[in-house]
Amino acid sequence: MNALQQIDHLVLTVADIELSCQWYAKVLGCQVVRSKAVSGEDRVALRIGDSPQKLNLHSAEHPFQPAAQMPQPGSADLCFIMSTPLEAAIAHFSHLNIQIIAGPIQRTGTLGPILSVYVRDPDGNLVEVANPLNADPP
């Protein structure tokens, strides 16, 4: 078996696909991508920046099969690294009346220390946005 290389996509089960699309586009700047599955079903995804990664959105009422054993809205905990300075993101959240659940707080990301804030999406998923920090914290 070959070693894994990267994450291609993750699936978020959501109560309202259109509401989730609006929130992730407006709050986090994701690009909404609509397509047809091989089976002919409409598919909706959120492209993450310029990366080859995406979040597929599945309706809680009609999950795309196969699915997780217990797909449900509000069960995800996601972390995104962003190029926007954290201070600007905090101001953006404030402007949109998005409550910051925690932060700014230092955490450990895949490549080292990060500075993060936490918010919730419309389904209650915990969404962490972060900036990488130098090896020496400020």
What's the rounded Cα separation, in Å, for the pair 119 and 100? 5
Whole-angstrom CA distances from 63 to 41, 78, 110 are 11, 20, 30
Q: 3-class DSSP state for residue 87?
A: helix
- What pLDDT shows up at residue 50? 84
Tell me the mean pLDDT per 10 residues along the chain, length 138.
82 96 96 84 89 91 85 94 95 97 95 96 97 68
Q: How many CA atoms lie within 13 A of 59 on its CB side?
A: 9
Selecting among 18, 41, 61, 128, the annotated active-site residue is: 128
pTM check: above 0.75: yes
Query: Within 10 Å of residue 80's Cβ, how many Cβ atoms?
Result: 17
- What pLDDT shows up at residue 1? 63
| 128 among known catalytic residues | yes
- What pLDDT shows up at residue 39? 73
